[in-house]
């Protein structure tokens, strides 16, 4: 029961039932939970992406294991929708929700026209995930934020061009895991955090000090207690500026990097 875009969304408008917005882990898990109790209720899943089912935490281990994005997809959106008996509106963005008339407005992200379609609902689940913030010091066109399998796939392509020096901003669970993964894959890694040790917001100081030692002994350069204050592209007439970005931390030290990966919202 899959529909690739909103052009046929109007056919579901009169049927209502449960509308779920977002096909990440949350959206699909809600569907599993509903279907475990009710196999009849009408479910419409609306998502801006393809709706493919994958386990996002796998992204922090996939590069060293040489797994492509397609290897991580457990089921395509349409396969998963057929299995769960839901109507999937893939590549469809919700632009407005009217809780009084219990309708959502959607538009296709696959088509160039801006035509809007209205869909009714009885119950609604918002599973739209988190959206990254890009402050001035970390401009979106110069840094990578990998929160989706499609972006991960683009990063993987860039990494495939050979060993690179990668700055990871944010030494939380995800940043630290991905630092180890990229190191294993043969890249040079600098991990930067405001705190003086990785995982500082999760673990006591004694434990984080041991983790800092362990990752440094593996070969990850850890810059603890540093704030990224600017990222700029190095000009083409700059010395040895081969497709590099310049990272400035604490207004004082400059580091030349090829990729800057942001995995924290607290490092700016």
Ligand X SMILES: Cc1cc2nc3c(=O)[nH]c(=O)nc-3n(C[C@H](O)[C@H](O)[C@H](O)COP(=O)(O)OP(=O)(O)OC[C@H]3O[C@@H](n4cnc5c(N)ncnc54)[C@H](O)[C@@H]3O)c2cc1C
Which residues contribute to the site for ligand X (CB under 6 A)? 21-27, 46-49, 56-57, 59-60, 93-94, 127-129, 146-147, 174
Helix-strand-coil percent breakdown of the chain, rounded to 5?
30, 30, 45
DSSP for residue 260: E
Closer of 172 and 247 to ligand X (Cβ): 172
Closer of 176 and 200 to ligand X (Cβ): 176
Least distance to ligand X, CB of residue 59, Å: 4
Least distance to ligand X, CB of residue 247, Å: 20
Residues 16/127, Cβ–Cβ less than 8 Å = no
Least distance to ligand X, CB of residue 52, Å: 9
Sign of CA dihedral 157, 160, 164, 168: positive
Least distance to ligand X, CB of residue 61, Å: 9
List, in sequence order, the alpha helices (H) in the chain: 10-13, 25-37, 69-72, 77-84, 149-159, 173-184, 205-218
Closer of 51 and 246 to ligand X (Cβ): 51
Q: Dig out the tokens for 213 from the structure.
A: 């030692």
Closer of 146 and 247 to ligand X (Cβ): 146
Least distance to ligand X, CB of residue 252, Å: 30
Closer of 249 and 262 to ligand X (Cβ): 262
Nearest to 63 by CA among 171, 222, 186, 214: 186
Distance CA 43, CA 12 (A): 10
Residues 247/213, Cβ–Cβ less than 8 Å = no
């Amino acid at each position: 029961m899959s529909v690739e875009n909103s052009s046929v969304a109007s056919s579901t408008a009169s049927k209502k039932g449960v509308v779920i917005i977002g096909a990440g882990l949350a959206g699909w898990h809600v569907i599993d939970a509903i279907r475990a109790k009710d196999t009849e209720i009408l479910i419409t899943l609306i998502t801006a992406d393809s709706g493919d089912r994958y386990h996002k935490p796998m992204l922090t281990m996939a590069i060293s294991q040489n797994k492509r994005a397609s290897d991580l997809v457990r089921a395509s959106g349409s396969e998963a929708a057929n299995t769960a008996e839901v109507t999937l509106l893939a590549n469809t963005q919700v632009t407005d929700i009217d809780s009084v008339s219990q309708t959502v407005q959607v538009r296709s992200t696959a088509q160039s026209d801006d035509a809007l379609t209205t869909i009714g609902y009885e119950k609604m689940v918002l599973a739209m995930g988190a959206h990254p913030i890009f402050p001035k010091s970390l401009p979106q066109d110069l840094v990578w934020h990998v929160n989706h399998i499609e972006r991960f796939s683009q990063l993987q392509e860039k990494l495939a061009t050979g060993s690179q020096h990668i700055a990871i901003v944010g030494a939380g669970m995800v940043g630290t895991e991905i630092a180890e993964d990229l190191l294993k894959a043969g890249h040079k890694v600098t991990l930067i955090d405001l705190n003086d040790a990785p995982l500082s917001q999760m673990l006591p100081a004694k434990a984080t000090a041991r983790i800092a030692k362990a990752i440094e002994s593996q070969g990850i350069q850890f810059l603890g207690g540093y704030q990224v204050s600017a990222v700029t592209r190095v000009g083409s007439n700059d010395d040895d500026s081969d497709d590099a970005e310049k990272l400035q931390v604490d207004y004082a030290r400059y580091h030349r990097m090829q990729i800057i990966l942001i995995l924290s919202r607290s490092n700016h």
